[in-house]
Amino acid sequence: MSVPTLYGPEVIDRIVEQLAHGRSLTEICRGRGMPKRQTVHAWMRTSDELAGRLLEAREVGYHLRAERAVAAAKSCSDPIAGRLAFDAERWYLGKLSLAFAEKPVAFGVQVNVAGDDAFATIAGALDRAAAAVAGSSTSTRIVDLPSSPGPADAPRKLADLDGNGGERLGQDPDRS
């Protein structure tokens, strides 16, 4: 991996190792001889390979943190304090990782494709959706696939995207 940096590859390896041990990037970057957190994020934007390594190490670290939280809750002498600490860690991990989110991730797809390039169009949409999910652990992104109206809107009864509405929109369906 070739990330232009004043730091050597051993620094990146140390960051990856520490993320896998459950430490946060902010905490790691406060260490002596480490780059700023913003610098690491800039590296991730320039190298998909590095971004993948760091995201994978984070997920490994999140699972380790979850295991530690369960063990600490089980061994806590005060059940209320143990539950509070466990719930705080669970909430935090749910914000950081889709693997610990309370609500499952849902993907909805509506595709109107005409012509011979249907497979390429769908593959492109899925690639953009995968990139959006991989690049954003804390937010939701809409992946828009522009297309012409299809059979789902054949009678033009649905509103168009500009909000102008189709024919008979808002009229009583029993009246012609």
Q: What was the pLDDT predicted at 25?
A: 94
pLDDT in tens, 37-96: 999 998 888 888 888 999 999 999 999 999 999 999 999 999 899 999 999 999 889 888
Question: How far is it, in rounded angstroms, from Cα 53 to Cα 48?
Answer: 9
Query: What is the rounded average pLDDT of the residues 6-18?
Result: 89
pTM here is 0.55
Cα distances (Å, whole numbers) of residue 74 to 10, 79, 81, 105: 37, 8, 11, 29
Residue with the larger pLDDT of the pair 176 and 28: 28
The pLDDT-based confidence of 130 (bands split at 50, 70, 90) is confident
Q: Would the pLDDT of 100 be above 70?
A: yes
Cα distances (Å, whole numbers) of residue 15 to 31, 35, 62, 142, 158: 10, 10, 15, 31, 52
Q: What was the pLDDT predicted at 174?
A: 52
Domains of the chain with bracketed CATH: 9-100 (1.10.10.60), 106-165 (no CATH)
Instruction: Give 10's DSSP letter.
Output: H
Query: What is the rounded average pLDDT of the residues 130-159?
Result: 54
Residue with the larger pLDDT of the pair 64 and 153: 64
Cα distances (Å, whole numbers) of residue 98 to 11, 63, 91, 168: 27, 12, 12, 42
| Residue 128: how many other CB atoms lie within 10 Å | 14
b/e per residue 89-115 (b: at least 16 CB within 10 A): bbeebeebbeebeeeeeeeeeeeebee
